[in-house]
Amino acid sequence: MVGGPGTFDALELGLLQALQLDGRAALSRIARRLGASERTVGRRYSRLRTLGLRVVGQPVPARLGMTRWLLRIHCAPDSVGSVAQALARRPDTSWISLASGGTELYCALTTSTPHERDALLLEKLPRTPSVVGVGAHCLLRLFTGITSTWYASGIPFGPAQRDEDGVPVPASERPGHPGPLTLDATDRALLTELARDGRAGLPELATATGRSPSSVQRHLERLRTQGALGFSVDFSPRHLGYDLMTHLWLRVAPGEVSAAGRALATHPETAFAAATTGPHNLVATGVFRGAHDLHHYLDHRIGSLPGIQAVETAPILREVKRLTAGT
């Protein structure tokens, strides 16, 4: 029996997991995997949507010749909200959070050209009077994959190479491709529509792109199989009792960054982990039930990672923008 808005049974947790493995999986296939009727799974999916569940299509920057950045922006106390909202309106920002003492913003964005990068980092932000300081960190390698958004309660919500049906999961930035994938007008239109609704049907996508459903299907399969498109499950971990999200900045000994990053990505608390430039060469976001769990994690899990020299924590006070992809 399903309880109130904050209560979830095994079927709903299984549905969230299945969507994390493949955001566009048909509800009929998910129902077969979960041993339930399609009608029942459809009702649970509708309930989760009323609680804010979204599946968002996101381009994979590394496959499209783009560069991902993580900004730490220090603002005057009375202007942090207006700066955050201005950044949230930009199509190149994917998420923005307010952390620390309420004067520091964390902003993830993607740039396609050096001109785009310089326009924001060297011109726009430095000329904003209420911005006190900016730290720009280039993300060098993602360890959790573009579609890892959160984990919970022992359920492995992270990326997988294939699901149990043998279907490839286009969640990671896959190595071995010869170069950036070139997009045409149909690809770009698809990415725009999927950023709004990652589960939009072929008829809707065909209408949006002006192409036939079969053409849309071919473009969609190409983007996925080439590792240029991933799908994120956006569902607040607070619904499951995880009330504390924290940015972690780690300084790791040279030669140990990849080992520490790979180990960090296996932790069920880790929603995001990447190697980065700057004084801290590994950055992560963790999801916890409360302060006690965070302390235990830092003391027992982070401390056991190879080569850890220092850790800085910055609890997230408010999420201003979540998982809005720009192309």
Is 301 inside a domain boundary? Answer: no
Range of the domain at 32: 1-51
| pLDDT of 324 higher than 60 | no
Is 33 inside a domain boundary? Answer: yes
What percent of the chain is modeled with pLDDT above 70?
A: 86
The beta strands (E) that lie in 60-148 are given as: 67-75, 93-99, 104-111, 131-142
| pLDDT of 105 higher than 90 | yes
Is 190 inside a domain boundary? Answer: no
User: ∠ CA(241), CA(243), CA(245), 5° rounding?
Assistant: 130
Nearest Cα to 248, choosing from 298, 306, 197, 200? 298
Is 47 inside a domain boundary? Answer: yes
Amino acid at 301: R
Rounded CA separation 94/119 (Å): 18
For position 6, what pLDDT does the model report? 56
Taking residue 196's Cβ as centre, other Cβ atoms within 10 Å add up to 14
Is 306 inside a domain boundary? Answer: no
| CATH code, 37 | 1.10.10.10
For position 206, what pLDDT does the model report? 96
Rounded CA separation 252/312 (Å): 12
pLDDT, tens only, 270-287: 888 999 999 999 999 999
Question: CA end-to-end span of the chain, whole Å?
Answer: 42
Please compute the mean of the pLDDT values over residues 70-83 and round it to a whole number: 91
Please compute the mean of the pLDDT values over residues 193-216 and round it to a whole number: 94
What is the residue-wise DSSP string for 172-196? S--TT-SSPPPP-HHHHHHHHHHHH
- Whole-model pTM: value is 0.79
Is 58 inside a domain boundary? Answer: no
Rounded CA separation 73/170 (Å): 32
pLDDT, tens only, 141-176: 988 764 444 544 444 444 444 334 333 333 344 445
pLDDT, tens only, 109-127: 999 899 999 998 888 888 8
Higher pLDDT pick, 168 / 93: 93
Amino acid at 30: I
Taking residue 189's Cβ as centre, other Cβ atoms within 10 Å add up to 19
User: ∠ CA(179), CA(181), CA(183), 5° rounding?
Assistant: 155
Find out whether 269 and 179 touch, Cβ atoms under 8 Å.
Answer: no
Nearest Cα to 23, choosing from 187, 206, 179, 145? 145
The pairing of beta strand 244-252 with beta strand 282-288 = antiparallel
Is 180 inside a domain boundary? Answer: no
| 295 Rama class: left (phi>0) / alpha (psi -120 to 50) / beta | alpha
The CA distances from residue 42 to 31, 38, 94, 202, 307, in Å, are: 9, 6, 29, 19, 47
Is 102 inside a domain boundary? Answer: no
Nearest Cα to 207, choosing from 220, 218, 216, 198? 216
Beta-ladder partners of 55: 233
| pLDDT of 308 higher than 80 | yes
Q: Tell me how many domains the chain contains.
A: 1
Amino acid at 214: S
Name the one residue in this structure whose structure tokens are 């053409």. Answer: 215
The CA distances from residue 15 to 11, 43, 89, 112, 231, in Å, are: 6, 11, 31, 35, 15
Taking residue 90's Cβ as centre, other Cβ atoms within 10 Å add up to 16
Find out whether 314 and 104 touch, Cβ atoms under 8 Å.
Answer: yes
Structure-token pair, residue 12 = 């709903």
What is the residue-wise DSSP string for 248-259? EEEEE-TT-HHH
pLDDT, tens only, 44-63: 999 999 999 999 898 888 88
